[in-house]
Amino acid sequence: MPNSPRKLISFDWAIKKILRSKANFGILEGFLSELLFTNIQILEVLESESNQDLPDDKFNRVDIKVKDSEEKIYIIEVQFSRELDYLQRILYACSKVITEHLPKGVPYAEVSKVISVNILHFDLGKGDDYIYHGTTRFIGLHNQTELELSEEQKNLYAVKKIADLYPEYYLIELRNFNNVAKNTLDEWIYFLKNEQIEDNFTAKGLKEAKETLDVLKMTPQERLAYERHQEDLHYQASMYQSTYVLGKLEGKEEGKEEGIEIGIVIGEERGMKKALLQTATKMKKMGMSHRDIAEIMGLTLEEIETLFI
């Protein structure tokens, strides 16, 4: 029997730690080219508040300036999230990208086109597709015709329709994908969901991803940090389950809201301690001292010693 594909580094971790390097632009260029059906070239990773390396792994984001096959230049924001309060978040994030990259004193005609690509690890709303595309259109209230740009506006903005001026949103709901790759874009969705690339996949960027995102190429320190990240994700998933599913059922059955809140707090504390203990134990087995473990995990020495009690 053929060997199963080797597990690769998750794409959200790659966005945070690996794909911002110019040497690895080909991976992200491949994904965006398949998604947008045009050849994308990354010009630069934009320096902004959105691109800061924050410890909150639930909301990883990178803003990049790109050029497409028609030489059009615009900003693409790629982000992973496991947050529930999300539709307003992507609106806020797009608005922030626009204002961050509009120099003071320039006319509004220079506002950058933004494409927001959102890779979701939860069910957003009700729907059975796994890729949704949203644009802005203005439809007449009485005759239902769509408002169009004048020829002067087309020349001024260098676009053909109003939707080309406003942010576009791509929502990729990984849970809805059935793991059957019917085309090269599906091959990317398969990788994003399963962190594996089949040998027969030919989508742009996947060959580079298979070579670059190999867990076995990580240093011991990188692997420890990555394992902690993965454990945090499992903890977040379990907390979602207990908070939004079990808590809701118990609330319906018993109507004890205060009891549910207390149970959630206790569950959070126990779950976090378990995740931290698992990570610290792995480090200890590798011969690290309590002091080194505390420094890597961002905890005090007393907190580390308490974990092993």
Q: Which amino acid is at 67?
A: K
* Average pLDDT by stretches of 10, the chain with 309 residues: 65 81 92 95 77 50 89 87 70 86 84 90 82 96 96 91 94 92 96 92 94 81 76 58 47 49 53 67 73 70 71
Taking the whole predicted model, whether its pTM rises above 0.95 is answered as: no
pLDDT of residue 251: 47
Task: Name all contacts of 93-100 with Cβ < 8 Å and 24+ positions apart.
Answer: 93/50, 93/61, 94/167, 94/169, 96/49, 96/50, 97/48, 97/50, 97/63, 98/167, 100/46, 100/48, 100/49, 100/50
pLDDT digits (tens, 9 = 90+) for 238-265: 555 444 444 444 444 554 455 545 554 5
pLDDT value at residue 247: 46
pLDDT, tens digit (0-9, with 9 covering 90-100), for 147-191: 999 999 999 888 999 999 999 999 999 989 999 999 999 999 999
